[in-house]
Structure 1
Amino acid sequence: MTYDQVTVPEDGEKISLADDGSLEVPDSPIIPIIYGDGVGSDVGPAAQQVLEAAAEATGREINWMRVYAGESAREKYDENLPDETVEAIKEHRVAIKGPLTTPVGAGFRSLNVGLRKLLDLYANVRPTYHLDGVPSPVKSPEQMDMVTFRENTEDVYSGIEWEAGTDEVEKVREFVEDEMDQTNIIHNGPVGIGIKPITEFGTKRLVRRAIDYALEHGRDSVTLIHKGNIMKYTEGQFRDWGYEVAKEEYGDEVITEDTLWEERDGEAPDGAVVVNDRIADNMLQQILTRTDEYDVLATMNLNGDYISDACGAQIGGLGIAPGANFGDGRLLAEPVHGSAPKYEGQDKVNPTAMILSGRMMLEYLGWDDAADLVRNAIEETISSGKVTYDLERQLEDAEKLATSEYADEVVNNIEKLS
């Protein structure tokens, strides 16, 4: 494909998909990158520098292809999410982006959600683990080691809703009143109404991905998180369809919690993954009170947002928390945090979340040695007390570094450790 505003690196090669669905990754792949809005102008280049160093230290080369969304796209294309950007990520399969801000009246409820939907990146995966040296509000942050699989395309994030006072919302109100006898609930003045779609297809492919991850990475359990005691036909159905996947598709590799206790007295077979479920509000408590009892979490869009942020708080906050969006043969890495526009261009904020999101990208490429280098170098940097302002103010005798200085220090540690 040819592009108007995007320069394709001459020396790099495209990642392709093999017949069996696996990635074929050259040693010098082309990787699209969106720096993002706000602090993206700082954390984007910092992450790029660190990931590039890790690749070079392991005998590889990343050929970056700058693509645009948000403010940078408006400057070049006069639109927020140009077709070129979407097509570039489709064509090259693996990409990384910084945070994006959706301006009022932009045509998208969220540019981040828009990208996920257009690319069918149905699993938002957020691993939460503690790094040595990072201050935490809990006594034992090292107990937190969970991976949240959050369905990316459905639930209330699908954006199916009607504004109070419009003709459209009145039609929906009339239907609900006539068909569901809900007059007392929605007839007290103006009302906004939204729809929460949960499909069998979307649920099962998300839960399947979570179970596959648990099996591949030696994890002990997958927990289905829902509010099915109240929303019986949406979140309750998510739970039921999730259990169907576990029982019907995995044989002896997976065992449900009920079977575990009713037939095996709590002793799981060697190598088997236990699938259980928890009510969402109770789970928000248990990730704090029983942190070490949970492993891989699978849930819907809104629950996943709440749960992963609560997990992130235990390991030092969203400045540390990575994430990535997975589709079939495609990945878009992105940090959990937002664009924080008041800090834009100040070379101040912590780039660790975007760097660690890039670490997930390296793992997806099969470059585990480079991914390990990134984590080890970050831990070495933070443990030595060389940190950005957000951590420096919580530590004694720490040295406050700018975003770019922190990236330089991580790169130095990559070179020392490689």
Structure 2
Amino acid sequence: MTTVTLIPGDGIGPEITEAVKAIFAAAQVPITWEEENAGQTTFDAMGELIPQSLIDSLERNRIALKGPITTPVGKGFKSVNVQLRQKFDLYANVRPAKTTPGIKTRFDNVDLVLFRENTEGLYAGLETFDERLGIADSIARVTVEGSHKIVRAAFKYADKHKLKVTVAHKANILKAAGRIFLEAAADVSKEYPNVVWDDKIIDNMCMQLVSKPEQFQVIVTTNLFGDILSDLCAGLVGGLGVVSGANIGDDMAIFEAVHGSAPDIAGQGLANPTALLRSGLMMLQYMGLFEQASRIEKALEKTLLDKNSCTRDLGGTASTSEFAQHIISNL
């Protein structure tokens, strides 16, 4: 049995977390949960966003599943997600986007994985604000080391699965930062001679994704561009409620629901647990539990084909727990 840190989060987080726990238990997944929390709920109860007990749990277990977290709105509060990524150097944000039978979208042949640099860029926190002049300066820090790490992660994945890599950038305008990222791709490509790769300017990349997404397999880019593209790609396959996400470093990984905490529907049994469940399946694959991950994924896909078994956002009438029970029945 492997111990995994479980972070339920805020809003609908506890509900979808319970659904995932029930499905994993029914599938006899060999893990033990160590539950800790962070975010708005924790701040209200304990006066801190990220308690030391959570940090200790993460350092001890080195793997976690996290529900949606709310960062209190107010001066001085830094995103919990960003803090965890930077503290543990979870430099690779990995976001698959794949068409699912049973979820109707404009496209029926999307199958790609986006690798987003997760710790630098415009989210490095290097900001100043001159109130007298009314000027805010935000510095996008892009490093040679950071660029090589995320590009290498993408190329390693592409090499393993025999896929093509596309590097998204804005080197035509961001001469220094764009050059660093493109040079990192050129350098890393020498380590993976069997990987075919190309590059696209970010604005053209967006247009190509919404017109012919099937041409892309692995995309790698910097932090802000990746933040935008990952949500765009989610929209191609049904939205944030049905896609998975992971924050991966060299020796730690946090798998997470990438949607918000939806406080307006919290506690009503309306939440769709698919995103957190799929993130959990990514976690099982990371742990080498491929058989269990495949079995649950097939049960999920079978459930999604029956609209009566789905939650309201998917066109059905099932509650969160009922949806989970339908998946369990299909195991």
Give the TM-score taking structure 1 as reference length: 0.76
Q: Which residue of 2 aligns with 1:204?
A: 148
Q: Secondary structure at the match of 1:36?
A: coil
8 A contact 1:356–1:374 mirrored in 2: no
Q: Which residue of 1 aligns with 2:230?
A: 308
Task: Give the structure with higher Rg (CA).
Answer: 1
For 2:103 and 2:21, locate their aligned partners in 1 and report how far apart those are by CA, in whole Å.
22
For 2:50 and 2:126, locate their aligned partners in 1 and report how far apart those are by CA, in whole Å.
21
What are the superposed Cα offsets for residues 311-336 of structure 1, whole Å, 9 maximum, x if unpaired?
11111111101101101121100022
Q: What is the Cα deviation at residue 292 of structure 1?
A: 1.8
For 1:147, give the aligned amino acid.
V
Q: Secondary structure at the match of 1:79?
A: coil
For 1:244 and 1:312, locate their aligned partners in 2 and report how far apart those are by CA, in whole Å.
30
> RMSD in angstroms over aligned alpha carbons?
1.5
8 A contact 2:127–2:137 mirrored in 1: yes
**1:220-369 equivalence runs, <5 A:** 221-247=164-190, 250=191, 253-254=192-193, 272-369=194-291
Q: Which residue of 2 aligns with 1:127?
A: 96
Q: 40, 43, 49: which is aligned to 2:13?
A: 40
Aligned residues: 330
Q: Which residue of 2 aligns with 1:49?
A: 22
Q: Secondary structure at the match of 1:90?
A: helix
Give the TM-score taking structure 2 as reference length: 0.96
Q: Secondary structure at the match of 1:366?
A: coil
For 1:301 and 1:295, locate their aligned partners in 2 and report how far apart those are by CA, in whole Å.
19
8 A contact 2:155–2:188 mirrored in 1: no
Q: Secondary structure at the match of 2:97?
A: strand
Q: Secondary structure at the match of 2:199?
A: strand
Q: Which residue of 1 aligns with 2:137?
A: 193
State percent identity of aligned pairs: 39
8 A contact 2:12–2:262 mirrored in 1: yes
Q: Which residue of 2 aligns with 1:148?
A: 114
What are the superposed Cα offsets for residues 100-158 of structure 1, whole Å, 9 maximum, x if unpaired?
1110347442111111111111100001011110121x1x32x2111000000001111
Q: 123, 132, 135: which is aligned to 1:157?
A: 123
Q: What is the Cα deviation at residue 242 of structure 1?
A: 1.9
For 1:223, give the aligned amino acid.
T
Q: 88, 92, 114: which is aligned to 2:61?
A: 92
Higher strand fraction: Structure 1 or Structure 2?
2
Q: What is the Cα deviation at residue 200 of structure 1?
A: 0.4
Q: What is the Cα deviation at residue 372 of structure 1?
A: 0.8
What are the superposed Cα offsets for residues 257-299 of structure 1, whole Å, 9 maximum, x if unpaired?
xxxxxxxxxxxxxxx2112111011111111222221111111
* Structure 1: runs of 5 or more not aligned: 1-27, 167-188, 255-271, 393-398
For 2:15, give the aligned amino acid.
D
For 2:222 and 2:267, locate their aligned partners in 1 and report how far apart those are by CA, in whole Å.
35
* Structure 2: runs of 5 or more not aligned: none
Q: What is the Cα deviation at residue 389 of structure 1?
A: 0.7
What are the superposed Cα offsets for residues 52-73 of structure 1, whole Å, 9 maximum, x if unpaired?
333x1xxx42211111101332
For 1:88 and 1:308, locate their aligned partners in 2 and report how far apart those are by CA, in whole Å.
29
8 A contact 1:108–1:114 mirrored in 2: no
1:375 aligns with 2:297: yes
8 A contact 1:129–1:145 mirrored in 2: yes
8 A contact 1:164–1:191 mirrored in 2: yes
